[in-house]
Amino acid sequence: MIRILENIERWVCDYEKCGAKCCAEGIQLTAADIKRIMALGYSHNDFLEFDEANQVFRIVGKKGKCFFLGDKLECTIRGNAPFVCRLLPFKIVEVSYSDEPIMSLEPVVDCPGEGHGGLIDKKQIEADATCFLRENQRLIRDLKNKGKKGVLDGI
């Protein structure tokens, strides 16, 4: 189940006004995200780090920003962006895996694009959030069964 805690009707990514603050280092990735990015010709050694404490894969940083942030603050993998990025202007505030996985989303604070641009496609946000939950559950299971190296070998 996906819960959007606060509604936003319109949004446009105005990354030039905020300096692309959402494009920070450490964005969490699913195995599907990693596979999509590697299909672009990147090696997982280029962009990937494993957060041992939280048992998740993350995008490495480049000067405190996302590895894939270009010189003009553009996303260089826009069409293949990770699920977490596709959820913008919302951010994940809580995920729980019980009988039914639940994800809570809330708007990114102080986003200059909020209230501007086109209508937000809530169905697409919910679909991307659901994919993230499903993929993340699979990744958690695979990490437990195969370990980090086994997961990366399977991608």
pTM of the prediction? 0.88
Q: In the structure, what pLDDT confidence band is assigned to residue 135 with cuts at 50, 70 and 90?
A: very high
Domain extent listing, the chain: 2-150
Segment 36-71, tens digit of pLDDT: 999 999 999 999 999 999 889 999 999 899 999 999
For the chain, the helix, strand and coil percentages under 3-state DSSP, each to the nearest 5: 35, 25, 40
Residue 80's identity, in one-letter code, is N
- 32's CB contacts (< 8 A; 6+ apart) are 83, 131, 135
User: Quick one: what percent of the chain has pLDDT higher than 70?
Assistant: 100
